[in-house]
């Protein structure tokens, strides 16, 4: 881990699409429908209540799950993670939701609020998951005190989306600082809290942050000192922001209808825009793309635990994993799933992460409750400044 650049690498080596392809070759693709899943479905048919992300098409995946297991999926969609936790607070103890799909950096927050229980690893088919995703820096957030609270579902990034005609960027030259280039005044989009942190990552890279960047996530006093510096240095970025985004739909809308030509977005946002025919591409900045691991948690008061386990076991096989990741335009987690993604998605990721880009991924650290409060406070100040 480099505290100057803020770049982290998994202890077991960087996760790469190449390693996933290698694993796929070794495992083969003969386990698209696991008999174990079908057997389990016969004894646990019923329903599953899932609170997940809005703005994506999960219908094919849900249909395949129901066809494979006999279990009906009740899907409750929410726009982003803060609304996940707000709903969990609102319904705590009522058993309205069985599972949810936050990112791994939020596990500490969910645990602190006593929302979740550990998975029984024997019942969820973890042997089907790419091993690199169960080890190292990213995966260490999934297990607390020896108990697994999150099982990986897909992973992806947040980096630089750009209009190839109006704001061309090139890997190796593109930096987070492109977001505050004066020529893009009024034409940039960022998510408030991660845009502000990008100022911090840039300050850290040039030695101008008061404390090591990673200490921002460990101590509230240090976090406030670092955020003070980020806010003080964010004037040009705020001047450049044409619109802030907070979820998939608003991120895409900034490019579709609101005049933005460059921004820091999820990979899925840029890739969907590209697939829809807009001149939008996506590239990792030289400081490293933000990386997130998404996964399934089991609510403490879940009523349908066996059905939840059947869903995870189904998800940890190649075809379902590729369908799930495909809905997000993200990376799948099951062995062999990478081979089943469309060539268009593979090509997009290859162009976004050439050369050493994957080795520079900056994995979101654990975000405890106190940090989320500070982060949101300064994000509000950033928007209001």
pLDDT score at 4: 30
Average pLDDT over residues 14-35: 32
Contact 236, 177 (CB under 8 A): no
Q: What is the mean pLDDT of residues 236-242?
A: 95
Asked if 90 and 102 touch (Cβ cutoff 8 Å), the reply is: no
pLDDT tens track for 26-72? 332 223 333 343 334 334 459 999 999 999 999 999 999 999 999 99
pLDDT tens-digit profile of 76-96?
999 999 999 999 999 877 889
Domain shared by 306 and 266, yes or no:
no
Please enumerate in sequence order all residues whose Cβ is within 8 A of that of 90, keeping only pairs 6 or more positions apart, or say none.
none
Residue 107 has pLDDT above 80, yes or no: yes
Q: Is the pLDDT of residue 178 over 50?
A: yes
Round to whole Å and give the CA distance between 266 and 48.
28
pLDDT 10s digits, 116-157: 999 999 999 999 998 888 887 767 899 999 999 999 999 999
Residues 92 and 123 in one domain: yes
Q: Is residue 257 part of a domain?
A: yes
Q: Is residue 353 part of a domain?
A: no
Distance CA(297)–CA(309), nearest Å, equals 11
Tokens of 378: 């300064």
User: Across residues 166-191, what is the average pLDDT?
Assistant: 96
Chain-wide mean pLDDT for the chain? 87
CATH no. for residue 267?
3.40.190.10
- pLDDT at 94 (0 to 100): 84
Query: Regarding beta strands 47-53 and 72-78, do their DSSP bridges make them parallel or antiparallel, or are they unpaired?
Result: parallel
CA 72 to chain CA mean position, Å: 26
Q: Which of helix, strand or coil describes residue 156?
A: strand
Residues 300 and 275 in one domain: no
> Do 368 and 337 share a domain, yes or no?
no
Q: Are residues 41 and 170 in the same domain?
A: no
Q: What percent of the chain has pLDDT over 70?
A: 88
Q: Give residue-wise pLDDT tens across range 303-341.
A: 999 999 999 999 999 999 999 999 998 889 999 998 898
Domain count, the chain: 2
Identify the DSSP state of 149: -
E-strand stretches of the chain? 47-53, 72-78, 99-100, 116-117, 143-144, 147-148, 151-163, 188-190, 241-244, 262-266, 280-283, 290-299, 331-332, 362-363
66 and 171 in a single domain? The answer is: no
Specify if 11 maps to a domain. no
pLDDT score at 133: 87
* Residue 355 belongs to some domain of the structure: no
Q: Does pLDDT of 207 surpass 50? A: yes
- Does residue 373 sit in the same domain as residue 245? yes
Q: Does some domain include residue 61? A: yes
Query: Structural domain of residue 341, as residue ranges?
Result: 17-156+291-346
| Whether 58 and 150 share a structural domain | yes
CB atoms within 10 A of CB 172: 13
The single-letter DSSP state of residue 317 is S
Q: Record the pTM.
A: 0.78
Q: 26 with 138, same domain?
A: yes
Same domain? For 162 and 244 the reply is yes
**Is 1 inside a domain boundary?**
no
Q: What is the distance between the alpha carbons of residues 253 and 271, in angstroms, rounded to a whole number?
A: 13
Structural domain includes residue 352: no
Does residue 326 fall inside a structural domain? Answer: yes
One domain for residues 190 and 263: yes
Residue pLDDT, tens place only, 338-351: 889 888 777 877 78
368 in the same domain as 239: yes
- Three-class DSSP category at 314: helix
pLDDT at 45: 58
pLDDT recorded at residue 322: 95
pLDDT at 2 over 50: no
């Amino acid at each position: 881990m480099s505290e100057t650049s803020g770049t982290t690498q998994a202890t077991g080596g960087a996760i790469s699409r190449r390693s996933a392809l290698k694993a796929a070759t070794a495992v083969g693709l003969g386990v698209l429908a696991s008999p174990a899943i079908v057997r389990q479905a016969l004894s646990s048919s019923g329903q599953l209540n899932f609170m997940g992300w809005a703005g994506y098409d999960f219908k094919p995946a849900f249909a395949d799950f129901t066809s494979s297991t006999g279990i009906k999926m009740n899907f409750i969609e929410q726009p982003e993670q803060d609304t996940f936790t707000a709903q969990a607070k609102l319904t705590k103890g009522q058993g309205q939701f069985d599972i949810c799909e936050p990112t791994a950096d939020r596990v500490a927050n969910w645990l602190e609020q006593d929302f979740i229980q550990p998975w029984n690893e024997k019942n969820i088919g973890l042997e089907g998951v790419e091993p690199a995703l169960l080890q190292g820096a990213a995966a260490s957030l999934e297990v607390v005190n020896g108990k697994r609270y999150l099982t990986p579902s897909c992973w992806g990034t947040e980096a630089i989306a750009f209009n190839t005609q109006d704001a061309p960027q090139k890997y190796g030259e593109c930096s987070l600082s492109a977001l505050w280039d004066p020529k893009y005044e009024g034409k940039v989009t960022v998510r408030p809290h991660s845009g502000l942190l990008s100022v911090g990552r840039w300050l850290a890279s040039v030695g101008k942050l008061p404390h090591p960047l990673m200490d921002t996530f460990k101590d509230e006093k240090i976090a406030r000192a670092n955020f003070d510096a980020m806010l003080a240095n964010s004037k040009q970025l705020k001047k450049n922001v044409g619109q802030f985004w907070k979820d998939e739909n608003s991120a895409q809308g900034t490019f579709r209808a609101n005049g933005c030509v460059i921004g820091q977005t999820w990979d899925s946002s840029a890739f969907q825009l590209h697939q829809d025919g807009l001149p939008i591409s996506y590239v990792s900045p030289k400081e490293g793309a933000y990386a997130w691991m998404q996964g399934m948690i089991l609510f403490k008061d879940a009523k349908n635990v066996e059905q939840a386990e059947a869903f995870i076991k189904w998800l940890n096989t190649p075809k379902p994993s590729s369908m799930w990741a495909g809905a997000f335009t993200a990376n799948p987690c099951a062995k062999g799933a990478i081979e089943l993604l469309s060539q268009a998605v593979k090509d997009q990721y290859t162009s976004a992460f050439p050369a050493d880009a994957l080795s520079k991924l900056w994995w979101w650290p654990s975000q405890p409750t106190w940090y989320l409060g500070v982060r949101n406070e300064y994000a509000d100040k950033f928007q209001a400044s």
